[in-house]
Structure 1
Amino acid sequence: MSMPFQQSLCFNEAQRGIFIALGANRPYRRHTLFENLHHALQLLSQREISILSCSRPWRTPAWPDPSQPPFLNAVARIDWAGEDPANLMQILHEVETVCGRVRSVRNAPRTLDLDLIDFKTRVQAPKTAHGLSLPHPRANDRAFVLLPLREIAPHWRCPVSGAFIDTLISRLSWNDRKGCRPAGGVLHAATHRLKRGAT
């Protein structure tokens, strides 16, 4: 049964999309993890970013330290008029800050993590050690990215290797796949266009 937030994209749509990953494993003020992700999508919508579709939230063990609180993750397909992914990343970082993200040690628990997974199939190597790599260099190894991404873009292919998403998922360890489970709920309602089933 097809759900609005799981509107499938054809191959061409999947290949020219912009996809971001959302994650949180630390509440902010009185907000739950679900509310953190939902609020992030609202803030993005207020910054001239259209949320075209969003996966269900998925609960996953913290990585690389599973003793930390588990994450709630999702992937969204967005539309944005800009052409420079670095500018988009600035907006993502701004939203992280508004949602209480404080950058400390690497992989510390966080109220919100927004990653740019794919920007219209662009392949980009960073010019500096802290520059932006596209597609996200570790997305292909992460069940908490690939499984939610497959919900909304089942025909997505890695812009670098050309591998289909099902192939990438099959390469993950069984433990990684087993640890990533749908958590229930809808983070963002489908747009009117998607509700009507238009392509």
Structure 2
Amino acid sequence: MKLCLASKSPGRLQVLTGAGITPDVIVSEVDEDAILEAMPDATATELVLALARAKAEAVGSSTSHDFVIGCDSMFEMDGKVVGKPHTEKVARERLHAMRGRAGDLHTGHWLITPNGAVGAVSTATVHVGNMTDAEIEAYIATGEPLHVAGSFTIDGYGGPFIDRIEGDPHGVTGLSLPVLRSLLSQTGYSVTDFWHGS
């Protein structure tokens, strides 16, 4: 059996391959902004699940894969959702506001299988280190924080600035292995079915 990952995230791919699963990668062309605009009163968990579902369904409808996993992550601090900053200015403002504080990273998962489709959200509290101004500028200069939820990622240049995580560490990377195992189990499959050579 072959899993299809509906994401271009290198972090998600690395989590799967590190766990013995080599997925096919097909990036969805979902208009994320349109989905978010259509859900103005949704919570962060509702948003990440809706985006994960849209990505999985878009890829599932355009391929012959029987198993498709879609994911999406958002960082929430002080009750506000913090998505990808896209610009250095926004990343700088966010990193200054986040340093020395904690927020929740929500990751939505949507799995399509021959036995049906299921979804779930994992949440972990991320404690951001008290970054200096120079560290913030150096981090922004890498380009990494411009394209990731919350303006940071733990599996790259941002790793040294995350003091600790409470909750599922894989969810912070963008795909929770325990959640994937649970979703597969709910639809009658085992994560071991997807290990190399299985």
Scaled by the length of structure 1, the TM-score of the pair is: 0.28
TM-score (norm 2): 0.28
Higher helix share: 2
- Higher relative contact order, structure no. (Cα contacts within 8 Å, ≥ 6 residues apart): 1
Q: Pick the structure with more strand per residue.
A: 2
